Amino acid sequence: MIQEGYKSGFVAIIGRPNVGKSTFLNRVIGQKIAIMSDKPQTTRNKIQGVYTTDDAQIIFIDTPGIHKPKHKLGDFMVKVAQSALQEVDLILFMVNAVEGIGRGDEFIIERLKQVQTPVFLVINKIDEVHPDDLLPLIEQYRSLHSFAEVIPISALQGNNVETLLQQIKNYLPEGPQYYPAHQVTDHPERFIIAEFIREKALHLTREEVPHSIAVVIDSIERRENSDTVYVAATIIVERDSQKGIIIGKRGQMLKEIGQRARADIEALLGSKVFLELWVKVQKDWRNKMAHLRDLGYREDEY
């Protein structure tokens, strides 16, 4: 039974790559649904995280970091991020307290000026700076745009996150509970499993590989009379040299990726997992729309 005055709405998290959007989303939802990496542009699709309490439901959309595109995949990612601004009740513009204002922030602010949606400035990573440095930074941002609220947080430590959630509720309209209370994302498990595998590859491989990685789930099989889920997946790269790096000497890198990904997948599915990984080369896939569509990046959906 939904109580009277129940609040609900959609909130976009936007910002430069690597400001901590996925870390924040995972902190709020309480479990891992967005992959995290120290390399930019980890998030390629909109990830909806659903946060439900007795008096509100907040549906978060974690957008790809807005950046100057260098290929068709980059164009797609920026279009996804900008489309999110048009369809939400509130925008969280997240910035990095350590790095200060960059040209990328100014680029985003120019786009924020074109929307009527309320915008919160969320200054993340405050655990890494001296408190005296915060006020001048806030004033700098305020001089560029009129923000509805300015809230400093540490997504990693959890500082001020509850305050931010309460302020978000204050700005949301009264509305229905869109998702069941136990549901934390609208993505199918195939998508999340693929993201887990891609995250491990991002963490473990050298700089020339990460943005050339995509993951396709070939099959998820639950066999009768077995408590093990069998998952087969293919890691897509652009060059033969990248394939060699992903596989590693005597297959050690691929084995390590699989072991780490399996732990996350088992936590997600609540059962034992047998994970089989393959590596395939699709040359220059990020610049070919047919490949992008095959891998799930469908521009016509945005």
Residues belonging to the binding site are 15-22, 62-66, 124-127
Would you state the structure tokens that stand for residue 180, as one six-digit string? 């069941």
What's the rounded Cα separation, in Å, for the pair 195 and 43?
A: 9
First to last CA, the chain: 34
Are 108 and 114 in contact by the 8 Å Cβ rule? The answer is no
User: 230 CB contacts (<8 Å, ≥6 apart)?
Assistant: 219, 220, 221, 222, 223, 273, 274, 276
What's the rounded Cα separation, in Å, for the pair 58 and 165?
A: 9
Q: How far is CA 20 from the centre of its chain?
A: 9
Binding-site entries for GTP: 15-22, 62-66, 124-127
What's the rounded Cα separation, in Å, for the pair 267 and 271?
A: 7
- Strand segments (E) across the chain: 7-14, 47-52, 56-62, 90-96, 119-124, 149-152, 214-222, 228-237, 272-281
Nearest CA to 268 out of 161, 195, 162 is that of 195
Angle between helices 21-29 and 161-171 (to 10 degrees): 80
CB atoms within 10 A of CB 112: 18
